[in-house]
């Protein structure tokens, strides 16, 4: 007989600890300048883990002859949140991020805190379940604290309305198949926040009211000017990005931009990782770009590790990473040094 999962049992507590550790580790690593390949791995790993866990679940159910349309369609809210996370990870779509943010923190995170799970460690389904749910959390906090993505004004209304699309789709599916997707027909067997609500169908209305309340609560931290200015929303152009920053950041970014364009007049402006980038070579690779970004107390300049290493003595007074340098807002931008760094990087790119 398989071991039964126990809420806050040893395996559950270990998973909770690992979820915190992995989230912290990814955010810590992502905020450091680890190079393009490592950054790409950190950007995509949680999303890939979600895809792998979803595929593994379907294969596991098919292989054991357990797959049933009543239980195994992609109709749980966590599954829809997974789709939103994958889209965000590969496209940085603003609406997909907003769905991820509200759905995970208001709903899917309970899949880790209060799992509706029968099998305990080391059953295969135990791993499939928690890889998927923990990956949602890791990805979301990475979006928030590394990519600096933020829910935009009006996001509460947009996400709540789209949640009704999920609600209606899941309800119709449940009625057609005698299923229980989204726990809209009955509460889960294991302890959950739904236990504090009334009986069916009253708890459906209470779920809606609670969801809207939580969405509003989750948006409150981002109403401040500081958070609004740091948002990595989709911008129409580099100019639009710069104009959406505070006055001090705007002036510093514009100086960096002009330095880059003076050093390489043919540089092409674009976006990479949600921040302004300048391609120093036509149809060049990502490593052929330099990037800039605005923050609360400094602006970031990303010329490539080779340039940082070459000018390390002149950069001694600034905080540097493997391929980045921070210019504090209370100090003037070293324009001549920036132009020389860009020119140096360009010379390396042009070498045969």
117 touches 190 (CB < 8 A): yes
Helix (H, G, I), strand (E, B) or coil at 238: helix
Q: What is the average pLDDT score of the chain?
A: 86
94 touches 234 (CB < 8 A): yes
Q: How far is CA 318 from CA 286, 298, 304, 308, 312, in A?
A: 25, 11, 16, 11, 10
Tokens 């779509």 belong to which residue? 93
Give yes or no: residues 282 and 197 share one domain.
no
**Domain presence at residue 1:** no
Give yes or no: residues 74 and 162 share one domain.
yes
**Domain presence at residue 76:** yes
CATH code at position 313: 3.90.1150.200
* Structure tokens given for 293: 């970004």
**Domain presence at residue 3:** no
The alpha carbon torsion through 47, 48, 53, 59 (nearest 10 deg) reads 140
Q: Which of 229, 263, 279 is the last residue of a domain?
A: 229
> Using 50, 70 and 90 to split pLDDT, how confident is the model at 226?
very low
Contacts of 204 (CB under 8 A, 6+ apart): 184
**Domain presence at residue 4:** no
- Across the range 47-58, mean pLDDT stands at 92
Give yes or no: residues 199 and 342 share one domain.
no
Say whether pLDDT at 175 is over 60.
Answer: yes
- What would the pLDDT profile of 304-324 be if each residue is shown by its tens digit? 889 999 999 999 999 888 788
Say whether pLDDT at 229 is over 50.
Answer: no
Give yes or no: residues 225 and 246 share one domain.
no
Give yes or no: residues 220 and 269 share one domain.
no
Distance CA 339, CA 263 (A): 5
Q: Name the least confident of 96-105, 128-137, 194-203, 252-261.
A: 194-203
Helix (H, G, I), strand (E, B) or coil at 109: coil
- What would the pLDDT profile of 59-78 be if each residue is shown by its tens digit? 988 888 888 998 889 999 99
Give yes or no: residues 220 and 245 share one domain.
no
Contacts of 281 (CB under 8 A, 6+ apart): 288, 346, 349, 350
Residue 281: predicted pLDDT? 75
Give yes or no: residues 109 and 194 share one domain.
yes
Q: Which of 203, 229, 255 is the last residue of a domain?
A: 229
Q: Which of 229, 257, 272 is the last residue of a domain?
A: 229
Tell me which residue range forms the domain holding 271. 238-350
Number of structural domains the chain divides into = 2
């Amino acid at each position: 007989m398989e071991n039964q999962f126990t809420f806050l049992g040893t395996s559950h507590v270990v998973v909770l600890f690992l979820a915190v550790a992995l989230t912290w580790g990814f955010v810590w690593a992502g905020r450091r300048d680890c190079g393009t390949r490592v950054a790409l791995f950190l950007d995509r790993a949680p999303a890939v883990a979600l895809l792998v866990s979803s595929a593994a679940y379907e294969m596991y159910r098919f292989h054991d002859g357990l797959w049933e349309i009543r239980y195994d369609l992609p109709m749980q809210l966590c599954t829809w949140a997974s789709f939103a996370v994958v889209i965000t990870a590969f496209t940085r779509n603003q609406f997909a991020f907003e769905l991820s943010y509200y759905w995970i923190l208001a709903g899917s995170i309970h899949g880790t805190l209060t799992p509706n799970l029968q099998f305990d460690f080391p059953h295969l389904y135990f791993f499939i379940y928690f890889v998927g749910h923990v990956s949602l959390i890791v990805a979301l906090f990475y979006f928030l604290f590394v990519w600096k993505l933020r829910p935009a004004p009006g996001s509460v209304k947009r996400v709540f309305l789209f949640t009704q699309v999920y609600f209606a789709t899941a309800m119709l599916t449940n009625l057609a198949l005698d299923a229980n997707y989204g726990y809209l027909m009955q509460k889960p067997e294991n302890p959950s926040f739904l236990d504090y609500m009334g009986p069916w169908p009253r708890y459906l209305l209470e779920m809606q009211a609670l969801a809207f309340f939580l969405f509003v609560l989750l948006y409150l931290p981002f109403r401040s000017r500081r958070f609004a200015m740091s948002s990595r929303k989709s911008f129409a152009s580099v100019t639009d990005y710069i104009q959406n920053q505070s006055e001090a950041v705007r002036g510093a970014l514009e100086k960096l931009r002009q330095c880059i364009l003076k050093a390489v007049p043919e540089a092409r402006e674009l976006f990479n990782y949600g921040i302004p980038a300048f391609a120093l070579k036509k149809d060049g690779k990502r490593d052929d770009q330099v990037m800039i970004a605005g923050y609360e107390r400094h602006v970031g300049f990303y010329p490539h590790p080779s340039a940082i290493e070459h000018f390390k003595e002149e950069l001694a007074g600034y905080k540097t990473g493997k391929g980045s340098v921070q210019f504090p807002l209370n100090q003037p931008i070293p324009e001549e040094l920036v132009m020389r760094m860009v020119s140096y990087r360009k010379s390396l790119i042009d070498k045969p």
